[in-house]
């Protein structure tokens, strides 16, 4: 289960609330395919997605899917309303969605071990000599 911390600052008083995904609704992955690949279509699509508050993440993808949206809605009826709003505003070839039935793992920790330079790599750089620009 993931958590969102909501901060509210009013004058000298402040409050932090812990809100779970269950409190917010269902996170849904929405895969978008399009046959339109013009800048004009993308600009309209971008504006459309920006104007829909249920969309909390927006990605351009490689592979079979052109775009991925993460949408948060309270129930299937709200998802249907989101879907109808989206397709009324922009031409899309295919929309498919997936609802998570159970969250197995969620973490905000990033595996940064690759960012720590290994001692043997330092030796390789030293043996190679100064780098030329």
Residue 123 lies in a domain: no
Q: The whole model's pTM is what? A: 0.65
Residue at token pair 């309303």: 81
Q: 7-38 pLDDT, tens per residue?
A: 444 444 455 455 555 555 677 899 999 999 99
Residue 67 lies in a domain: yes
Sorted by sequence, the CB contacts under 8 Å of residue 97 that are 6+ apart come out as 28, 29, 30, 31, 71, 79, 83
- Check which CATH number belongs to the domain holding 68 and give it: 3.30.70.920
Model confidence at 111, pLDDT cuts 50, 70, 90, reads confident
The residue segments making up the domain with residue 73 are 25-101
Q: Count structural domains, the chain.
A: 1
97 CB-contact burial (10 Å; exposed 0-12 / middle 13-18 / buried 19+): middle
């Amino acid at each position: 289960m993931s958590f969102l911390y909501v901060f509210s600052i009013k004058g000298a008083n402040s409050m932090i609330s812990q809100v779970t995904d269950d409190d917010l609704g269902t996170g849904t992955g929405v895969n978008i395919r399009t046959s339109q690949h013009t800048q004009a279509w993308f600009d309209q699509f971008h504006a459309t997605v920006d104007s829909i508050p249920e969309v909390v993440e927006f990605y351009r993808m490689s592979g079979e899917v052109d775009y991925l949206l993460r949408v948060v809605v309270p129930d299937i009826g709200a998802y249907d309303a989101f879907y109808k709003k989206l397709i009324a505003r922009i031409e899309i070839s295919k929309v498919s969605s997936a609802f998570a039935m159970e969250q197995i793992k969620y973490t905000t920790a990033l595996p940064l071990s690759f960012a720590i330079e290994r001692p043997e790599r330092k030796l390789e750089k030293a043996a190679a000599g100064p780098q030329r620009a």
